[in-house]
Structure formats: structure tokens, C-alpha cells
Amino acid sequence: MTQADVEFATLAGGCFWCLEAVFVRVKGVVDVESGYSNGHMLQPTYEAVCTGQTGHAEVVRVTYDPSVVTYTELLEVFFRSHDPTTLNRQGHDVGTQYRSAIFTHNDAQAQAAKACVAALRAGRAYGPADIVTEVAAAQVFYPAEPEHHRYFELHPHAGYCAYVVAPKVQAFKQAFPHLVQEADR
């Protein structure tokens, strides 16, 4: 597979450990990297992003093969993997760094993301709550520090992983059995 055969999706939906743990299990996903994006600070660190003052969101940059999984399918997984109705918050994780956002890499992604958000709003997929997911062009991506990569795989029994991340992984497997990689079934 060459660089020309893959595309990128950059998604923010709370702690990047959660989204990474889900997306590494999606069929057609080649790589998932946790990091920071769409803020104003150059070379942000985890400590700086946690202050909420950098403008960056914790994100995952998903590298995927569009001949196996579509961008729309990735968005469906994304919306089922976090709560897109809570502004700057996912559970006990609070701050702009935990916002719900889709950072698009081209016009086709922007149109698909806006259409997906509009369809969820029109269908009242989340009841009376409104979707607060931001759709914006992807800016510079900064990889997170090495200790954040594959955190769930390395620390599955740690409190946050066991009580927050693991249920999201399980919910993904139940909701999208056709998208679960063979090794994760």
C-alpha cells in the first residue's frame, strides 16, 4: 500500500485514548495516532493542552484505506464513540481540549461531515439535545508524547481504561460487527 492509497481523518471526541482504542479496531484503518490539533500553540505538550489555553483539541489522526472503509463509516463510528451533545466535555473530562470536532482534510470530507451532522440533527438522533460537534479544516497535527500512544493496549486494567475506554471498545464491537478487524473479534 502506498501513500496514494490511504487517506486521513482527524477526529476529536474527548480523551484521545478512547478514540484511539476504538479506531485501531476498525477494518481498513492502517494507523491511528493520538495528538493535538487546531490550536494556536506551536509544539504543544500534554501538560499545556490540559490547561485549556492552547486552543488544541486532543485528537486522533486515522490513516485509512478508503477501498475498505469509507469516510462516512468512520464518522458513524466516531458519533457512536462519544457524546456529541456536550460542549467541551466528555464525562468527567472537561475543557475545550475535549471538544467534539471533525477536522477535515479536503472539500469532500467537509461536505460529508456537515451532511452527517445535519442528518443527525434532523433525525434527532440524540433526542432533544443538539449536536455541538465542530466541523473545521484540519490544521497542523502534533503527535502526542510516546506514553500516550496505544495507552489502552498497554494499560487495560488501569482505572480510566477499565471503566471508560473498555466500555467504548465493547460498544463499538457490538454496534459495528461488520467493521471490526478479524483479530479483534
Active site residues: 15
Q: What's the chain's Rg over C-alpha atoms?
A: 15
What lies within 8 Å, CB to CB, of 51 at 6+ separation is none
Which amino acid is it at 10? T
Contact in structure between 165 and 17 (CB atoms under 8 Å): yes
Compute the distance between CA of residue 79 and CA of residue 86 in angstroms, rounded to an integer: 12
Which amino acid is it at 60? V
Contact in structure between 28 and 64 (CB atoms under 8 Å): yes
Other beta carbons less than 10 A from residue 109's beta carbon: 23
Compute the distance between CA of residue 182 and CA of residue 102 in angstroms, rounded to an integer: 27
Contact in structure between 59 and 36 (CB atoms under 8 Å): yes
